[in-house]
Structure 1
Amino acid sequence: MQSEKRTPADAQPSVDSAGRQRPAAGSSEVTVGVEEEYLLVDPVSRQLSPQADKVVAQAAGDLGDRVTTEITRYQVEVRTDPHTSLTDLGDQLRATRNAVAHAAARLGLRVISSGTPILGQLNPPPLSPGVRYAQSLAKFGALDHEQSVCACHIHVGVPDVATALQLSNHLRPWLPALLAMTANSPYWDGKDTGYASWRTMTWGRWPVAGPPPYFESRTHFEDLLDRLVASETLLDRGGLYWDIRPSHHVPTLEIRIADAAPTVDDTLLLAGTVKGLAVTAMAAIHNSQAAPCPQPEMLRAACWRAARDGLSGRSINLDTGWLEPTAVHLGRLWNTALPAVATSDDRTLLQAAQLRLRSEGNGADRQRAAYRRRDSHTDVVDYLIETAAAAPGCPADSVTDESGRRGRSCSA
C-alpha cells in the first residue's frame, strides 16, 4: 500500500478548548471565494502587454480593492467575496471578468485567462513596482523571470488554523485530480511544452512549493514555518507556495493547484468541487476520522503526471501505486464531492460544467484544439480572448478602445 491513515491533526471533540463550536458534519454553509489572475495582450500582435497598472486603475472604478496588480506588469489579479452559493459566485465572477475586460479594452488591450503566456514572453519580464517584489528578485533571482504565470485560487472559509491544517490533510490526496481537471497551460513562448500544465512545472522550482506536508498538529506547522523563515528560505510567512496553505491574512484555507481557468464555468466547476470536498472533509474532521496520508514521493509523482497528461492517459492511484484511467480517478473525485453540494441549482451548474469537460476537455485540450485549426498560436490567443469574459448580454464587439478600434473583448 502507498498510503496510510493517521489521526487528524489536533483532533478534538465538538467544542474546542476556547469554547468554539466545531463545524457540523456535512455543513452546507462552507464558504468559497476565488482569486483569479489574467494576462493582458495586444489584440493585433497578440503579444503580452505590460500595462497592468493602467488596467487596474480603470477597473478599480467598478471593483475597488478587489482588483490589483501582480508580480509582472502583464498580470491583473481579482478576487471575489466569500459565497455559499455557486450561482451567486458565478454572477460575481462574470461581472468581475467583464469589468476587467472593459477596462482593458478602453486602453486598446484584451484579457486572456491562461496559466502561461502564449506569445510575447520577455525574459526577464517587466516586474511591477514594490518593495516586496524587489526583495523577491534580490533573493530568488531568475526564478522571478518565469513568473508571468497565472493561477486560480479557491479560498475555503475555516474557523481557525487548526481546522485549516486538518482540512489540508484531507484535501491533499485530491491534488492530482484537481490539477488534471484544471490544466490550462500547454504553451510557453510560442512552443508546445508537451505538458498540459507547464505553469505547474515552473512554479514547482520554488523552494517551498508543490503538495504540502501532512501536518501532525498546529505546533508542527508553526515550527516548520518558523524554521523556513529563520533559514531565509522564505521572504516571510506569506511566501508559502504550497498547493494548499492556510492564508496568512484571512481565515481561509487556500487551494492553489489550478491554472487560471479559461471560462467562468471552469472556475465554478473547480470551486464547486473544492467546496464539496471541503464539506465532506469537515464531516470527517467532526467525526475524528483519519485523513489519508499518501507517501510524499508518490503524491509529488502523481501531480507531475497530472501536469504532463491532464485528462489524457492514466493517473497514479495513490493507494496502490498503479496506473489507472484518469476518468476513473476523476470519477472518485466527483463521487466524493458532488453529493455534498447543497442546492439543486448548484448541482445543475456543476453537472453542466462536468459534461462540457468530458466533451471538450480541459483548458489545455481546448487551447491545442484552437491551435490545430490552422497551426496558429494567434488563434489560441483569440480563443482565449473570446472565452475569458463571457457574460450574458455582453456582445462580442461591444467595446471601442480609446483609438476608436473595436474588438472582441467578450462573447455572448
Structure 2
Amino acid sequence: MVPGAGAVVERAAARLGSRVSGEITTLHVETRTDPTSSVRLLLEQLVQARRVVAECAAVDGLRIVATGTPVLAGATSPPVTRGPRQDLGTATFRGLHDELAICALHVHVELPDRERALLVSNHLRVHLPLLIALAANSPYWEGRDSGYASWRSMVWPRWPVAGPPPRFTSLAHYERVVQMLSAAGAVVDPGTLFWDVRPSVSHPTLEVRVADVPVSAQESALVAALVRALVVRGLEAVDRGDHGPEVAGEWLRAAYWRAARDGLEGALLEAGTGRLRPAREVLGEVVDWLAPVLRACGDEDLVRGWLGRLLVVGSGAARQRAAAGRRGRLADVVDFLVAQTVVDERLPA
C-alpha cells in the first residue's frame, strides 16, 4: 500500500470531475456514479471510473485494487488525511482509526421522504447478512488469512455507531436516538452515523453501506440492482402499512458473523427459524422474490446472468484465496486484484 491518493485524485478529477475524491486515508481513492435508473449505464460509469483512476495511478508507477481489505502487511495505522473534521474524528475514535484500511460499496436509492426511508430500512435489516455474503471480498488482513470471507465486516462494527441500524418506528424516534448518540459523544457529525443502512446525510436517498467493495465493476452493478429491488419491495410493504419485521439484535449480530465468516460459499442464519441454510439457496429464493421488480426495471436477465457467472467463479474472497493457493504467494493475490479491478465489462449496446 502506498499513500499516493492525493496526486491520483487530482489527475482523475480533471477527467471525472466530482465522480472521484479522496477518503479518510491517503491510501484510498473513492469513485462515484451519477444518478441513473439504468443498471447498464451504471456499469458503464463504474468501468470508466476504474479505468481512469488506474491510468492516473500508473503515472506514479502505482496500481489500484478493489478489495475490502488490503492483502499484504501494513494495514494498521494508515496515514489519515488532515483537516478539522478528520482531526476531531481521530481525537474521538482514537485507536479505531488504526484499522481504517478498508473499502466498502455504498448504494444510494432515491427516497427523499426520510420517514418512509427509515421504515424501508426496517425491511432491509433482515437482508443485510445476505448482502455481506454476496459481496464478501476481504479474506486477508496484515499479510495473513483471517479465516473470514469478509474481515472488513468484522473490523467496521467496532465503531460506536456502525453495523445494522436499530428498528425505527418513526422519524421522531430516529432523531431521538441520534440526539442521544450525539450527547454521548459517539458521533462527530451526522456523517459518522455509520449504520449499514441510513438516510443519506447529503442526498435525498436511502444509503446501503454493508457490502465490501467487489473485485469487479460488474459485481458492484449486481449489488446495486439487488439493493434497488429490495428497496422497492420495502416501499411496497410500507405503503401497505407494514413497518418492518421485529428482528432481534442478537440474531442480526450472529447472522452478520456467520455471513462474514463463510460468505457466499457457506451458510446463512435464517430469520425466524434460526436454521442454517446454504447462502446460494437463500440467494436464489430472494432473487425469485425480487423477480417482478427486477423485470419491471429491465434488470432480471442481467441480474440472473451475472449471478449465474458469480456462482460459477465464486465470491471475491474465494477467488483471492484461489490466487494465493496456486503458488502459496500473497503477492499473486495482489496481481489478481490488479488485473480484475480494471477489466472492461461494459455491455454491448
- Please give the TM-score of this superposition, normalised by the length of structure 2: 0.96
- Look up the SS of the partner of 2:265 in the other structure: coil
Aligned-partner Cα distance in 2 for 1:345–1:57: 36
Q: Please tell me whether residue 110 in structure 1 is matched to residue 69 in structure 2.
A: no
Q: Give the Cα–Cα distance (whole angstroms) in 2 for the partners of residues 279 and 233 of structure 1.
A: 32
Q: Which runs of 5+ in 2 are unaligned?
A: none
> Residue 310 of structure 1 aligns to a residue in which SS?
helix
- The residue aligned with 2:179 is 226
For 2:201, what is the secondary structure of its paired residue?
coil
Contact 1:113 1:384 in 2 (8 A): yes
AA in 1 matched with 2:131:
L
Alpha-carbon shift at residue 289 of structure 1 (Å): 2.8
Distance 2:291 2:134 in 1: 15
Q: Distance in 1 between matches of 2:345 and 2:124?
A: 34
Q: 1:350-381, CA deviations, whole angstroms, 9 ceiling, x for partnerless residues?
A: 11210112101111011011111111111100
Q: State the distance in 1 between where 2:104 and 2:286 align.
A: 21
- SS of the aligned residue for 1:216 comes to coil
Question: Could you tell me which residue of structure 2 aligns to residue 132 of structure 1?
Answer: 85
Partner of 1:97: 50
The range that moved more, 120-129 or 154-163, is 120-129
Residue of structure 1 equivalent to 2:247: 294
| One-letter amino acid of the counterpart of residue 101, structure 1 | A
Aligned counterpart, 1:305:
258
Q: Deviations over 1:175-229 (max 9, x none)?
A: 0111110110000111000000000111011011111100011100001001111
Q: Is the 8 A contact 2:110 2:205 kept in 1?
A: yes
Q: Is the 8 A contact 2:265 2:315 kept in 1?
A: no
Question: Amino acid of the residue matched to residue 225 of structure 2?
Answer: G
Structure with bigger strand share is 1
Deviation at 1:349, TM superposition (A): 1.8
Is the counterpart of residue 195 in structure 1 residue 148 in structure 2? yes
Measure the CA separation in 2 of the matches of 1:190 and 1:263. 22
TM-score, normalized by length of structure 1? Answer: 0.82
Compute the displacement of 1:108 (Å).
1.0
> What CA distance in whole angstroms lies between the structure 1 residues aligned with 2:297 and 2:163?
34
CA contact (8 A) 2:75 2:99 kept: no
Quote how far apart the aligned CAs of 1:130 are.
Answer: 1.8
Cα deviation for residue 312 of structure 1 reads 2.4
List alignment gaps of at least 5 residues for structure 1. 1-47, 394-412
Q: Counterpart amino acid of 1:353?
A: W
Quick check: 1:184–1:259 contact (8 Å CA) kept in 2?
yes
1:166 and 1:234 mapped to 2: Cα distance? 22
Asked if residue 54 in structure 1 is aligned to residue 3 in structure 2, the reply is no
Whether the aligned pair in 1 keeps the contact of 2:76 and 2:101 (CA below 8 Å) is no
C-alpha displacement at 1:129, in angstroms? 2.1
Q: For residue 315 of structure 1, what is the aligned residue in structure 2?
A: 268
Residue 6 (structure 2) pairs with residue 71 (structure 1): no
Percent identical across equivalent pairs?
45
User: Displacement, 1:347?
Assistant: 2.1
The equivalent of 1:269 in structure 2 is 222
- Comparing both structures, which one devotes a greater share of its residues to helix? 2
SS class of match (2:34): coil
CA distance in 1, matches of 2:172, 2:298: 41
1:2-44 CA distance string (max 9 Å, x none):
xxxxxxxxxxxxxxxxxxxxxxxxxxxxxxxxxxxxxxxxxxx
Q: Do the aligned residues in 2 keep the contact of 1:261 with 1:363 (CA within 8 Å)? A: yes
- Larger C-alpha radius of gyration, 1 or 2? 1
Aligned-residue CA RMSD in angstroms?
Answer: 1.4
